[in-house]
Every structure is written in C-alpha cells, then in structure tokens.
C-alpha cells in the first residue's frame, strides 16, 4: 500500500504544479523553449536495476511536455532464483513535468514518465539453443519529486526520488511485476533554452 500512496502523492503534487499549463495549453500557453536531457536512475531497493537513457521536451507555460527512453540490464537478484541468463527492460513514452519558482537557484522539481516497453528474457540453454527465450510487453510509470539547480541559463541539473511501477509481466515465470518495481533515485541534466531573456524574469 505504501508504494501506491507514494504514487498518489506524487501525482497530486505534479497536477498542482502543472495546473497553469493545463488551463492554458490549448489557449494562450506560451512556448518558452526546448531542451534535451540525459537521465540516469538507480534502484533504492535491493536488486532494482539502474537505468540510463534520455529525453527531450518543449517548455510550455509552467511545465514541459516531451518524450523519453530508458533501458535497464542489471537485475542480478533474479539470476540466482531461477533459470534466467539475462533480462533487459527497455521502455519509452510520454514525459511531463514542471518546476516551481524555477528562476531561483534551487527550486522544487517534479515529473512523471509514462511509457510502454519490452522485457527481453534470455533463459539458460535448454534442449535447443534459445528456444525458451521470450519477450513481454510491459507498462512503466515513474513519478518523481526532487530539487533542481540552475547551473547556467542553459543547464539545469536535478536529483529526485520516485517510484518505478511496472505492469504486464506474464504470470508463471520465476519473477513477477514486483521484482521489477520499486523506489528509485534519478539524476537529470536538462540542457537547452528555458525562456530566459535579458529583460524578463523566467518564473516557470
């Protein structure tokens, strides 16, 4: 229950932070800029794999909307509990978020990555080569909240904690959805143009 409580709290904050964007996205919302961002995640629960990848987004109103892609390869805790040889999780999709009082040196940041992907499973060799290998289509949801630092006008670095929710793993295996989900810590470097101008203060 704790993990679902955290997800609800994170989404509640994110909805509040992006309220101005939601009200104006199809009205007079202002496109402030765009950025690209390398993203790294670490699992805070034993065995939850680290992930690496990146994303890109448009800065609109008080938040941003874009896309991301991440991949994980190290689920060591599963290799000793069955006949797994390797397991790879890759996913991508929608990335939304925002920052409060982003004109300040350090400010509150939040985002949610909502994606779909593939879980590639390699099993130890059976009677035939790779005959038992298979893939699952999965859904991945990762809300997060943290702090962001304005390093320069074009570089912002944030660190956040969140929860990686994974669903869709087929039953009957030596692992399940719970083995792939759990709390995470992320570091993201947003590189681009955030609407800063010499005669106006950027407050998104």
pLDDT digits (tens, 9 = 90+) for 109-159: 999 999 999 987 766 655 555 445 667 889 999 999 999 999 999 999 999
* Long-range contacts (CB closer than 8 Å, 24 or more residues apart) made by 166-172: 166/89, 166/138, 166/139, 166/140, 167/138, 167/139, 167/140, 167/141, 168/136, 168/137, 168/138, 168/139, 169/119, 169/136, 169/138, 170/136
Using the predicted structure, report yes or no on whether residue 61 has a pLDDT greater than 50.
yes
Using the predicted structure, report yes or no on whether residue 37 has a pLDDT greater than 70.
yes
| Residue spans per domain, the chain | 2-25+32-193
Residues of the chain with pLDDT > 70, as a percent, come to: 66
Using the predicted structure, report yes or no on whether residue 193 has a pLDDT greater than 70.
yes
What was the pLDDT predicted at 15? 53
Architecture of domain 2-25+32-193: Beta Barrel (2.40)
pLDDT digits (tens, 9 = 90+) for 145-174: 999 999 999 999 999 999 999 998 877 676
């Amino acid at each position: 229950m704790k993990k679902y409580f955290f997800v609800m709290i994170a989404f509640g904050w994110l909805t509040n932070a992006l309220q101005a964007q939601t009200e104006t996205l199809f009205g007079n919302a202002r496109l402030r800029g765009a950025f690209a961002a390398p993203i790294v995640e670490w699992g805070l629960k034993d065995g939850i794999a680290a992930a690496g990848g990146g994303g890109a987004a448009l800065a609109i109103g008080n938040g941003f909307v874009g896309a991301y892609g991440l991949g994980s390869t190290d689920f060591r805790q599963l290799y000793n509990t069955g006949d797994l040889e390797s397991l790879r999780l890759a996913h991508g999709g929608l990335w939304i978020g925002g920052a409060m009082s982003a004109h300040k040196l350090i400010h509150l940041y939040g985002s949610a990555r909502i994606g779909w992907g593939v879980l590639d499973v390699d099993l130890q060799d059976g009677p035939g080569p790779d005959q038992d290998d298979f893939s699952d289509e999965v859904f991945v949801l990762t809300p997060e909240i943290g702090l962001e630092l304005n390093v320069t006008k074009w570089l912002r670095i944030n660190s956040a904690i969140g929860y990686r929710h994974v669903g869709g793993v087929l039953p009957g295996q030596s692992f399940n959805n719970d083995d792939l989900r759990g709390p995470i810590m992320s570091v993201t470097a947003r590189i681009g143009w955030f609407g800063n101008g010499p005669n106006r203060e950027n407050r998104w």
